[in-house]
A and B are shown apart, each in its own frame.
Chain A
Amino acid sequence: MTRYLGMSLLLGPLLVVSAWAQNSTLDEIARYRAQLQDGNPAELWEARGEDMWKQKRGPKQVSLEQCDLGKGRGVVKGAYAEMPRYFADADRVMDLETRLLHCMMTVQGFSKTDATRRVFGSGSNRSDFEALAAWITSESKGVVMKVSLNHPKAQRAYELGEKAFYFRGGPHDFSCATCHAEDNKRIRLQDLPNLTQKKGAQLGYTTWPAYRVSQGELRTFQWRLYDCFRQQRFPELEFASELSIALTTFLAYNANGAAFNAPAIKR
């Protein structure tokens, strides 16, 4: 008995210490993240994107100010918080990148091959899409997410996206839901949002694009999906594809009601 008591006296503080250590680790990492918020290098992408939006480019030498992101020609403020959306002129649902690609082709006269030559940047090989997305999304900072499914094609995109979210496959028999349908899951110290719950869906969606500290690059929500597919060992998620738009519609709609809060900065 005294031995047990001795043990528990010994172990007691140890358990407390390890629980404390874990909490303080998470607290300190929260502090690290908070300290990075000021002076987010994403601003460098935003500045480049704003210039690019206003520059006359492409075979037609027209600026993207002639592009309608859904709130009228040239209107950027708040546009991202309502995307993806149904566009009557194209008779389909488009997310931001798909719409930009559409405008680059129809307004500026780029070919699809030229416009999509580099959708994700790396070092000096930079992506126009990432810069444009950084600027356009920054113009929705603080705007409440309000994605509409009123059009039947938007409703259909949502349903397809939901199916894709739970679809299991690949050599690991993975789905998006494997990692993102339970609370408190994480990869090492990275918390994985539970995208099936309002709070997690909002937190997950509204914090992309983000400057990725580990890569020194700004990454968009498109990239996030693309890389999740890679991690699942799925076939490559095609840029501006129906599936990509559908998944984005599903996740963006579930974030409705939350204030958009990106470009952010992440580990």
Chain B
Amino acid sequence: MADPMRIRAVARDGVVNVRVLMSHEMETGQRKDASGKLVPAHFIRNVTASHQGKTVLTALWGPAVAKNPYLEFEFKGGQKGDKVLVTWEDNKGEKRSDEGVIN
């Protein structure tokens, strides 16, 4: 199973800044291994972030997002102590969901 994400969410002046680090190889499918075989593409396809059931960000990615992806965005209306839920799914169907508490 994939490693947990690191989610940092900080509320300031009514705006919540969210920073997420995800653990993923993000293989392009264009790289060859030592034996000369193509390493199959393996990357996070979509990401959804929600706050109290409301989607606050969606992302659709290809393999050109850097390895161990970083994502930062901001939304309005979150309070300290609220949770932000982030879910990703990769092109092989693997999923991971984690929560971060707003500070």
Q: Which residues of chain A have a CB within 8 Å of any CB of chain B?
A: 38-39, 41, 43-44, 47-48, 123-124, 216
Nearest-Cβ distance from residue B52 to partner chain A, whole angstroms: 24
Please give, as numbers and ranges, the residues of chain A lying within 8 Å of B15 by CB-CB distance: none
Q: How far is the CA of A39 from the CA of B70 in the complex (A)?
A: 7
Contact between B19 and A39, CB atoms less than 8 A apart? yes
> Which residues of chain A have C-beta atoms less than 8 A from B21's C-beta?
39, 41, 43-44
Asked whether A43 lies within 8 Å of B6 as measured between CB atoms, the reply is yes
B29 interface residue per 8 A CB criterion: no
B72 within 8 A of A: yes
Q: Does B67 reach chain A (CB closer than 8 Å)?
A: yes
* Interface membership of B40, Cβ < 8 A: no
**5 other A-B residue contacts (CB within 8 Å) besides A39-B72, A44-B21:** A41-B21, A41-B70, A44-B3, A44-B68, A216-B67
- Contact at A47–B4, with CB atoms within 8 Å? yes
Residues of B at the A interface (CB closer than 8 Å) are: 3-4, 6, 19, 21, 23, 25, 67-68, 70, 72
Is the Cβ of B19 less than 8 Å from the Cβ of A123? no
> Which interface residue of B19, B68, B72 has the most chain A CB atoms within 10 A?
B68
A to B CB contacts below 8 Å, 6 in the list: A39-B21, A41-B21, A41-B67, A43-B6, A44-B3, A216-B67
CA distance A216 to B4 in the complex (A): 17
Q: Which of chain B's residues has its CB closest to A124's CB?
A: B25
Contact check: which of B6, B25, B72 meets A123 at CB < 8 Å?
B25
List residues of chain B with CB within 8 A of the CB of A124: 25
Cα separation A230 to B67 with both chains bound (whole Å): 26
Question: Are B70 and A47 within 8 A (Cβ)?
Answer: no
Q: Least Cβ distance of B97 to chain A in Å?
A: 16
Look across to chain A and name the residue whose beta carbon is closest to the beta carbon of B71: A39
Q: Is the CB of A48 within 8 A of B68?
A: no
Known: A123-B25, A124-B25. A41 touches B68 (CB 8 A): yes
Chain B residues lying within 8 Å of A38, measured Cβ to Cβ, are 19, 72
Q: How far is the CA of A216 from the CA of B31 in the complex (A)?
A: 14
Task: Name the B residues within 8 Å of A216 (CB-CB).
Answer: 25, 67-68
Q: A39-B19, A39-B72, A124-B25 are in contact. Are A48 and B3 (CB under 8 A)?
A: yes
